[in-house]
Amino acid sequence: MPATVHVLTAGYAEERVASTVTLLRDGATTVVVDPGMVADRRSILDPLAALGLTAEQITDVIFSHHHLDHTLNAALFPRARFHDHMAIYQDDTWYDRDADGFAISEHIRLLRTPGHTPEDITTLAHTDQGLVALTHLWWQADGPLQDPFAHDPALLAASRRALLALAPALIVPGHGHPFVPTEQTPV
């Protein structure tokens, strides 16, 4: 059975900022992506509870990058392994590995997508609806066209093109609601 995707809270980036926090399930693997800033931690924990899960049942946490608005609430998940662009961390153990192509589970893998930061990664989930990409390449469906905080705008555009070439059925952006990519999706 392929992975399932549940947006726990859709983020925003206006006068205030919150990351989009997403749950992925694939067999025995239960993943939270980008447990960052939210108005209240219940915005993460209550949707988990509605899905029949506790924070202790989360097996893995993935950080798209290391900005605090995407990592601040990581400690909510005491039993998880934590994944970033270069390693897996759990308790007092650090395992070096490159994220690019790393399989979290049978239907969830990581893809290096630098641009916003040099270390950005995208989480790819193969679902019944097709490929779902959880990424900070876009903040929301409309971009922004030019990421004002991009470390390397040309690299960001190249990463956007590479991800779109995979034909994702759905993109879950860093600070907004999921969207179906179209020819008008900013590159």
Write down the pLDDT at residue 155: 97
Average pLDDT rounded to a whole number, residues 100-107:
98
| Residue 64: burial class (beta carbons within 10 Å; 0-12, 13-18, 19+) | buried
Q: What is the pTM (predicted TM-score) of this model?
A: 0.97
Write down the pLDDT at residue 136: 97
Write down the pLDDT at residue 37: 98
pLDDT at position 16 over 90 = yes
Rounded alpha-carbon distances, angstroms, from residue 105 to 1, 7, 8, 28, 91: 12, 19, 20, 9, 20
Superfamily of domain 4-172: Ribonuclease Z/Hydroxyacylglutathione hydrolase-like (3.60.15.10)
* Domain residue spans of the chain: 4-172
Q: Which two tokens stand for residue 24?
A: 């992925």
- Residue 181 backbone class (left: φ over 0; alpha: ψ -120 to 50; beta: rest): beta
Q: What is the spatial distance between Cα 51 and Cα 27, in angstroms, rounded to a whole number?
A: 15
DSSP assignment of the chain equals --BEEEEEE--EESSSEE--EEEEEETTEEEEE-----S-THHHHHHHHHTT--GGG--EEE-SS--GGGTTTGGG-TT-EEE-SSEEEETTEEEE---TT-BSSSSEEEEE--SSSTT-EEEEEEETTEEEEE-SS-SBTTB-SS-TT-S-HHHHHHHHHHHHHT--SEEE-TTS--B---TTS--
Write down the pLDDT at residue 133: 98
pLDDT digits (tens, 9 = 90+) for 83-94: 999 999 999 999
Write down the pLDDT at residue 49: 98
The band of 1, judged by pLDDT with boundaries at 50, 70 and 90, is: confident
